[in-house]
Structure 1
């Protein structure tokens, strides 16, 4: 099958998008274990920024190696594209993860997992005004509501959810979602003319360089990795490289709002994986119903009803 057809086919798109969401969902328990192993405290902003910088720098190197050694694709980019890719790196890597990592430290995990997906709403809204073929409609509205309810439901049994808001906590997470949405729109634009893997590698390299500079300037020393934290760092780097490359490839051939709907799967898969990997986490019936709501919402948005009469006419003719 042709690559473009594969990335447009609803079945393969669904599989790839859910696979990316599972990878991103696994980052929640992995990061939690990593911070414990590295003794990174909630208020230690620079260490978290430094960790993120190392993670995405390694991710960019992994993609460069794949491009050069296996795909045999030149990694050189035109001078006129450097600035716009740097902007994407600032949005998608530097700013998004700066606000996400630090906002999560000042709010509960429950509200964090809900607000972290605010970017889904922003992408759908921005797509309505930017793309003539990606307008808001009843299906998308219902899908957004179901997806949001699923995230609320998966966390409702964990306790501790309240409406208290702080700029440094919940505010940072909403800013992270907004920055991510702008990054998604920009990534879709760039991926039309530049190979998605090249866009991913360069934006990660440039974005992670900013994180490394900021993190090291406040830390003055590198993190002390052991076997466990080092292994988890490599895993998180690989998952980012794989997920972002595949995600940008999907954005190239599909509507941004429809693809982004799959991100509602992230906190639910993160909850399931936390049960498996973290002590004290338990499976709840709410997780099952939350997953069901999200699946129904995604199917509702992406399902395209066939014209049965025309289909039967073509078969008879």
Structure 2
């Protein structure tokens, strides 16, 4: 099915539901580890993430048309940095944040990716800098994040450090999406995502080298099935999202990202035991989403441009 501007929100909603379900999925793995007596150490988390993303990447490479031909045509340094930022660094920070903070908090802070994009795109892609209105909305979003961290609710763990790690994670992912724009002219989105997930997953697995001897104990049956699901989430969500970056401007897509925190917070609240959003998440989250929606409306109005003046 061809994705048009009219069907774009539904495509983004699909990504949002997939990514939103990953938060409770990872928390369920941590809970299962606790049940069987496995500590969610950094090495264990990195090995889990590495296997998940390598599996997701391989699925996409199998579905890509000519991945190895495109590999030969693509700048390897750009591909390496894409894999490192969108998968390796982003999920090293993300899995660490989820281990010390709540899935609800993480779901909300996914929205900070929209702010990072507006700040980074002018530096890397040489797009126009944010307008005064956009700067005000970015500041409003930052205030919403601070309010959410101040009163995050039950099961929030260490909200300050968790929020810092989540924000750094979305910063790394935003850099990855911008680097992707340099890769897409020589490599399709499906192959680029497949290589990015596979290489980034290998980086994470190497970071978890100390956990390799404990591989069998880390993957009881429930964890295996959850990891397979998360691998499919990665393959489908990232594959679709990176395809959208081929069809639509990055700044326009950033505006629709408000759907991601809505889905993530909702699914985490419903599915993660022991977590319930506090007043900070409700109010701060509303402020963040309002800021993202405002940025979206500004992007749409800018894309339309000024109306031509009438002449006599």
Give the TM-score normalised by the residue count of structure 1.
0.78
Aligned residue-pair number: 299
User: In structure 2, which of residues 54, 62, 71 is the aligned counterpart of residue 65 of structure 1?
Assistant: 62
1:185 alignment counterpart: 178
Take 1:80 and 1:183, find their aligned partners in 2: how far apart are those partners?
16
Take 1:11 and 1:115, find their aligned partners in 2: how far apart are those partners?
27
Take 2:167 and 2:278, find their aligned partners in 1: how far apart are those partners?
27
- For 1:281-292, what aligned pairs fall within 5 Å after superposition? 281=275, 286=282
1:75 alignment counterpart: 67
**Aligned in 2, Cα 1:185/1:299: closer, same or farther, shift over 3 Å?**
closer
Q: Deviations over 1:30-63 (max 9, x none)?
A: 1101111133535x10111011001101101211
Take 1:89 and 1:309, find their aligned partners in 2: how far apart are those partners?
42
- For 1:245-256, what aligned pairs fall within 5 Å after superposition? 245-256=239-250
1:173 alignment counterpart: 166
Q: Structure 1: 5+ residue runs without aligned partners?
A: 68-72
User: In structure 2, which of residues 267, 270, 281 is the aligned counterpart of residue 273 of structure 1?
Assistant: 267
Take 1:163 and 1:53, find their aligned partners in 2: how far apart are those partners?
25
Take 2:160 and 2:277, find their aligned partners in 1: how far apart are those partners?
28
User: In structure 2, which of residues 61, 80, 93 is the aligned counterpart of residue 86 of structure 1?
Assistant: 80
Take 2:305 and 2:109, find their aligned partners in 1: how far apart are those partners?
39
Q: Does 1:210 align with 2:203?
A: yes
RMSD in angstroms over aligned alpha carbons? 3.6
Q: Deviations over 1:224-266 (max 9, x none)?
A: 3334322221111111111111111122232223312333432
1:127 deviates by 1.0
Q: Deviations over 1:89-137 (max 9, x none)?
A: 1111111111221133334556544555443322211112333545312
1:199 deviates by 0.3
**Aligned in 2, Cα 1:297/1:19: closer, same or farther, shift over 3 Å?**
farther
1:31 alignment counterpart: 26
2:188 alignment counterpart: 195
- For 1:221-300, what aligned pairs fall within 5 Å after superposition? 221-224=214-217, 225-281=219-275, 286=282, 293=290, 296-297=293-294, 299-300=296-297
Take 2:51 and 2:158, find their aligned partners in 1: how far apart are those partners?
34
Q: Structure 2: 5+ residue runs without aligned partners?
A: none
SS state of the match for residue 128, structure 1?
helix
Give the TM-score normalised by the residue count of structure 2.
0.79
Q: Is the 8 A contact 2:29 2:226 kept in 1?
A: yes
**Aligned in 2, Cα 1:250/1:272: closer, same or farther, shift over 3 Å?**
same
1:28 deviates by 0.8
